[in-house]
Amino acid sequence: MAIIKSFSVGDGDMFYIRHGSDNFTVIDCCNYGNKRNIDSDLFSNRLDEIKNQSKDKGITRFISTHPDEDHISGLCEFYNKIGIVNFYCVQNEATKTDESKDFKKYCSLRDDEKKAFYLKKGCTRKWMNLTDEERGSAGINCLWPVIENSDYKDALKTAKDGGSPNNISPILTYATGKIKFIWFGDIETDFLEKVKNNIDFSKVTILFAPHHGRDSGKIPEDILKKLDPKIVIIGEAPSEDLNYYKNYCTITQNSAGDIVFETEDDKINIFVGNENYSVDYLKHENCTDDFGCHYIGTLNL
């Protein structure tokens, strides 16, 4: 069994995966604190949860999709409270005209020869996706970037020149049993259109919509047909900016709050923070509320 949690952090991203193997993965970090009128203790509580959930795992990795503040805010506090031994990101030289302390921490980790591991299409590493006699694989694979691609090089240059780093985001999958999750970071629609023929898309179970579900990150329809997701998770961008992925089953985090996926080989029990949130496409099985969240149903594959 594995647990995947998507924290409700406002207009940002923060996830963890408690793998069925001896692995624990965090994807991105977001603490807007009082900037978004959030309880200042909430981020600390989230870090306590991550620390508790990862304490019995031999390997913990932090994956940073890209260095925008809504994906790295709180990184210093995360580092001080939990520590980061394995920092995964794409190799880049992103700069900012106004460098926050968290961006400076990102750069120090990104450029650390001992801590950094650079993501690219098909990359392999113990125990990200390789198993040995010591421990099993985390089941994480990278579909993108192709670092030789000219459009990707242009995105790297834009980030180096202080522009948006959205399109340097990697595309990552996590597979366990018959279940597969996919993340796109903040990749934008126009960029996906340019590079889609370089990416080996296949069917997934849960898709986290790019760019927090914004219309600017809407996945092109031909890619969606290949992915054929059972559920699309729409993030917490302002409602007027969202694309609601018509004709797909969705969970909208603006309304649902925290989302927890409890996986078995061929099913996912789903829990959300808002006890009044519901959907009509899940089967209700003998599950009670758990993970501090409300059970809304089970997806059977």
Range of the domain at 182: 2-300
> Which residue in this structure is represented by tokens 């125990």?
127
Dig out the tokens for 174 from the structure: 């996590």
Dig out the tokens for 243 from the structure: 């694309």
CATH number of the domain enclosing 50: 3.60.15.10
Q: Model-level pTM greater than 0.95?
A: yes
pLDDT of the chain along its 301 residues, tens only? 999 999 999 889 999 999 999 999 999 999 975 455 556 689 999 999 999 999 999 999 999 999 999 999 999 999 999 999 999 999 999 999 999 999 999 999 999 999 999 999 999 999 999 999 999 999 999 999 999 999 999 999 999 999 999 999 999 999 999 999 999 999 999 999 999 999 999 999 999 999 999 999 999 999 999 999 999 999 999 999 999 999 999 999 999 999 999 999 899 999 999 999 999 999 999 899 999 999 999 999 9
Reply yes or no: is the peptide bond before residue 145 cis, omega within 30 of 0. yes
What is the tally of structural domains in the chain? 1
For residue 180, list its beta bridge partners: 175
> Amino acid identity, residue 199?
I
Q: At residue 150, what are phi and psi to the nearest 5 degrees?
A: -65, -35
